[in-house]
Structure 1
Amino acid sequence: MQTNNLLDFALDKIDDMKARDVITLDVRDTSNITDFMVVCSGNSKRQVQSIAQHLAKEAKEHDLDVIGMEGQDIGEWVLVDLGDVVVHVMQDETRDFYQLEKLWG
């Protein structure tokens, strides 16, 4: 799948689960690991876990590679690595603390 299509797919799937404050960061010029990072918030541990699980499940159902998923057991910050797109699903407190938008933006 083309990178822009993969990005659109990820954005659509996290929207399905009502992710909030979605920000897309183009990191092609600053990272050799991925092209885009998506940062979004969930209202609770359970919602953060559900958003990430839904994205990973849908990706697998569409024969997309889920390279990795970290943080699922704790639910404060779950990272879903789709290769060219990495999605960070975070609780508000964790997002405020790490401020990925400022770090990568």
Structure 2
Amino acid sequence: MRPSLLSPIAQRKTANATPLRQHVIDALEELKAKDIREIDVRGKTSIADLLVIASGTSARHVKSIADEVVKFAKKAGVMPLGVEGEREAEWVLVDLGDIIVHVMLPRIREFYGLERLWTVGDRDADNEALSAV
């Protein structure tokens, strides 16, 4: 067995993110979020380990999805650090510490292009973009 290169704190942080990640995905699927995408941002930023981006079909749907993410996170014992954008509900961000969830209307998601922003230089993302052409 290969020793871990992560510090004990980082090991606990990574171990805790996996169950939370599943709760987030379950919440998104529960309310039928569209186009769910996960982006591993470890090594790119210190703000989080994982970004989860999903779309809703209307402002009401976006808000409901974000509310469900908060509810599932609380059931998992994680209190959100913050929730932004609920009033307009075109783009709602739920900060769960290691995981940041973005729920957006499709036109907002396309305009800001978070997937492109956070995957620039990633080999898999570059190959995916080339195959789409």
Same-fold call, TM cutoff 0.5: yes
Q: Over the residues paired in the alignment, what is the CA RMSD in angstroms?
A: 1.0
Q: Which has the larger radius of gyration?
A: 2
**Counterpart position of 1:97:** 111
**Counterpart position of 1:12:** 26
Structure 1 segments (4+ residues) deviating >2 Å: none
Which protein, 1 or 2, shows the higher relative CO under an 8 Å CA cutoff with sep ≥ 6?
Answer: 1
**Counterpart position of 2:40:** 26
User: Where does structure 2 lack aligned partners over 5 or more consecutive residues?
Assistant: 1-14, 120-133
Cα distance in structure 2, aligned partners of 1:78 and 1:38: 12
> For each residue in 1:15-71, what CA deviation from the matched residue of structure 2 results, as whole angstroms up to 9, or x when unmatched?
100000000000001010100000000000000000001111222233212110000
Match of 2:69 among 49, 55, 67: 55
Structure number with the higher strand fraction is: 1
Cα distance in structure 1, aligned partners of 2:57 and 2:18: 27
Give the TM-score, by structure 2 length.
0.76
Give the TM-score, by structure 1 length.
0.95
Structure number with the higher helix fraction is: 2
Identity of aligned residues (%): 43
